[in-house]
Amino acid sequence: MGRVLIVAGSDSGGGAGIQADIKTVTALGAYAMTAITALTIQDTLGVHGIVDVPPRAVTEQMAVCLDDIGADCVKTGMLHSPEVVDAVLAGLARPSAPRDLVVDPVMVAKGGASLTTDATVAALRERLVPRARVITPNLPEASVLLGRPVETVAQMDAAAFDLLALGPGAVLLKGGHLAGDLVRDVLVSAEGLVHFDDPRIATRSTHGTGCTLASAIAAGLAQGLDLVTAVRRARAYVRKALATAPGLGQGHGPLNHGHTVRPFS
């Protein structure tokens, strides 16, 4: 079925973070485990507070899952300090850790609140990104990692290749922040470049979209899909989750993560 260890922050509103990750992995038929890096006090209107989890506890959560149940893929989300990045790397250094790692470089919440620091960005860029099979930045995150604006479709291909030069096996650069009726994502790897173009879905229920996409990719890799197929399936899953979103909350609402699940009759 595929085993995914998710290392990320908790979202009390259930739309992003660990909660979205577990829902996504489960909805796609894989098995989810977690190592929680922080507790966010969060709803659809924004982040109201962050409570740290000690870095040692992050490593220990990873260790017990990896040594007992095992994992076919690890996915990281919100890592809010260099110490937590190093804690994750310590977990990934265990003999029981899988080779496949999906890094979603979460830096800014949907409502605009910063979730990281300059030192953490440097730790991600220098120590974790080169370990990844694929990273999944959006355009603001790519701009931070590269130290320059990435603001147009025309800039995306070059930015994706420059991100690849940081050392990951592949980069999925997401273009959803750009205006327009068409949304482009760019996947680059040693095998070349692939564009994914789809019509924009008009909805305010976009909270947790990045977490959901990265976890859907991780589930596919854990289940043995090749990267392009895993990305295609993940994007299709997210698009239907957006199109059927329940419209909850007063701000950026959650997706419909359970659209693959049939209710008991």
CA 125-126-129 angle, to 5 degrees, is 55
Asked whether residue 56 carries a pLDDT value surpassing 80, the answer given is yes
Joined tokens for residue 194: 């692939």
- Per domain, the residue ranges of the chain are 3-260
User: What pLDDT is stored for residue 264 in this prediction?
Assistant: 78
Q: Indicate the angle between helix axes 82-92 and 55-68, nearest 10 degrees.
A: 20
The CATH homologous superfamily for domain 3-260 is Ribokinase (3.40.1190.20)
- The whole model's pTM is what? 0.96
Please write the tens of the pLDDT for every residue from 100-157: 999 999 887 666 666 778 899 999 999 999 999 999 999 999 999 999 999 999 999 9
Cα–Cα distances (Å) from 187 to 16, 226, 229, in that order, read 23, 13, 12
Which residues are tagged catalytic?
Answer: 174, 206, 208-211
Q: What is the mean pLDDT of residues 205-229?
A: 97
Contact between 244 and 261 under an 8 Å Cβ cutoff? The reply is: no
- Within its chain, how far is the Cα of 216 from the centroid? 9
Dihedral sign from CA coordinates of 51, 56, 57, 62: positive
